[in-house]
Amino acid sequence: MAQQLNHHTLPILSIGALGGTVSMRANQPGAGATPMITGEALLDGISQLHEGLDVHIETLCLVPSASLDFNLLLEVLIWAQEQVKLGVQGVVITQGTDTLEETAFFLDLLWSDDVPLVLTGAMRPSDQQGADGSANLTDASRVALDAQSRKRGVLVVMNGQIHQALHVRKSSAMALEAFNSALFGPAGLIIENRVIYLRKASARTVLPMPRSTHHKVALLLATLSADTVLLEHVLALGYDALVVSAFGAGHVSIEWVDLIDQITTEIPVLVATRTGSDSTAEASYGFIGGEMDLIDRGALMCGFLCPYKARILIWLLIGAGLGREVGKHLQRLGFKATEG
Ligand code: ASP
């Protein structure tokens, strides 16, 4: 993917395009949008910004973001690291929004450079009224080039807001304001083309690159009157860890308790809240299947970390041979209520 950049004196920015709605339009009326706009064509939308700027743009793939995967993201990471070595001041990745909260967190856990890595996308395809792709890409580029964005890891820029990878969630399927950082709020804003941070950069956790990528982490959703069939087969199917997207503050039904107890003796079991906001508890409920009971049985509470991000954390840790350290990382990432 790497390519030599020209020698220059102007600030330089590298943009890697992966696909998603920002790269989509319909082939013919009524056909439905598909990814077909290359990175080079995306650049036309931000001509106002890149006049006088040396921008390097590369189409790394053209897929809907549901079809991105961890192996591909590791390649994207290496590409972004190469851009930094070539001297860019910022890197932007454009992709679909469906998995943006997950890809941002995945890349953030591995991004050790001070140079900003900024992810963005669009909620409306480029051929729709009010398409937001160009505005988001322009904002993301400004953020990536801004010195205040350094040492903040991976940032998500959408709809005039800057979000930290750790906190950002996609919480609406269709709205332009689909992204938020729930209780934490955005890390910053883009107002009148200026990048304004609301908080200082905070200490980050950076993990080693995974040495293996063949392991599997199951994610099971607790629902009312759920059966136990999938849970019964987690170990036999060879999963290396289990994340439970649990009710409320980290609760499951009485039927799930013995199975979880058994699974914790073999593999890590992480319990996150399925509610979309706030934290799991540790010492509030004493019923069977409550968080205190699950902790006693060896499960680990994820705090503010959502189930999707908990799955990424344990997958990366296992890949780096650090699965046993998950409790320590959950304390640092999941229970970090503030950024200071
Ligand atoms: N709806 C998606 C998007 O906003 C499609 C995708 O994630 O690729 O980009």
Segments making up each domain of the chain, as ranges: 2-197, 217-335
pTM for this structure? 0.94
Q: What pLDDT, in 10s, does the model give residues 270-280?
A: 999 999 999 99
User: Is residue 221 classed as helix, strand or coil in its secondary structure?
Assistant: strand
**Binding-site entries for substrate:** 65, 97-98
Give residue 40's pLDDT band: very low, low, confident or very high (50, 70, 90). Answer: confident
Instruction: Measure the CA angle with vertex 46, ends 1 and 179; round to 5°.
Output: 85
Question: Domain 2-197, what architecture?
Answer: 3-Layer(aba) Sandwich (3.40)
Mean pLDDT for 43-48 is 79
- The CA distance from 315 to 67, in Å, is 18
- The CA distance from 201 to 155, in Å, is 11
Mean pLDDT for 3-31 is 80
Query: Crossing angle of helices 326-334/307-319, nearest 10°?
Result: 140
Ligand 1 center to 63 CA (angstroms)? 9
User: Is residue 258 classed as helix, strand or coil in its secondary structure?
Assistant: helix
Backbone angles phi, psi at 195, to 5 degrees: -90, 120
- Single-letter code of the amino acid located at 311: R
Query: What is the pLDDT of the chain when averaged over all its residues?
Result: 93
The domain over range 217-335 is classified in CATH as 3.90.330.10: no
Question: Closest ligand 1 atom to the C-alpha of 21?
Answer: 9
> Does the structure show a pLDDT above 70 at 312?
yes
Mean pLDDT for 7-24 is 85
Identical topology for domains 2-197 and 217-335: yes
> Does the structure show a pLDDT above 90 at 88?
yes
User: Is residue 58 classed as helix, strand or coil in its secondary structure?
Assistant: strand
DSSP string for 25-48: EESSTTS-EEE---HHHHHHTTHH
Mean pLDDT for 163-183 is 96
Mean pLDDT for 296-307 is 97
Nearest CA to ligand 1 atom 4: 97
> Does the structure show a pLDDT above 70 at 4?
no
Mean pLDDT for 312-331 is 96
Nearest one of 96, 127, 111 to 29, comparing CA atoms: 127
Mean pLDDT for 3-13 is 61
CB within 6 Å of ligand 1 — which residues? 20-21, 64-65, 96-98, 121, 123
Q: Which residues are catalytic?
A: 21
Ligand 1 center to 98 CA (angstroms)? 5
Nearest CA to ligand 1 atom 9: 96
DSSP designation for 208: P
Q: How far from chain centre, in Å, is Cα 122?
A: 15
Mean pLDDT for 121-138 is 95
Question: Closest ligand 1 atom to the C-alpha of 121?
Answer: 9
The confidence score (pLDDT) of residue 337 equals 44
User: Is residue 66 classed as helix, strand or coil in its secondary structure?
Assistant: helix
Mutate which of 18, 62, 67, 98 to test ligand 1's pocket (most atoms within 8 Å of Cβ)? 98
The kind and range of the H/E element at 225 are none
Mean pLDDT for 322-326 is 96
> Does the structure show a pLDDT above 70 at 155?
yes
Mean pLDDT for 123-136 is 94
The confidence score (pLDDT) of residue 51 equals 76
Q: Which two tokens stand for residue 198?
A: 């609301």
Mean pLDDT for 177-184 is 94
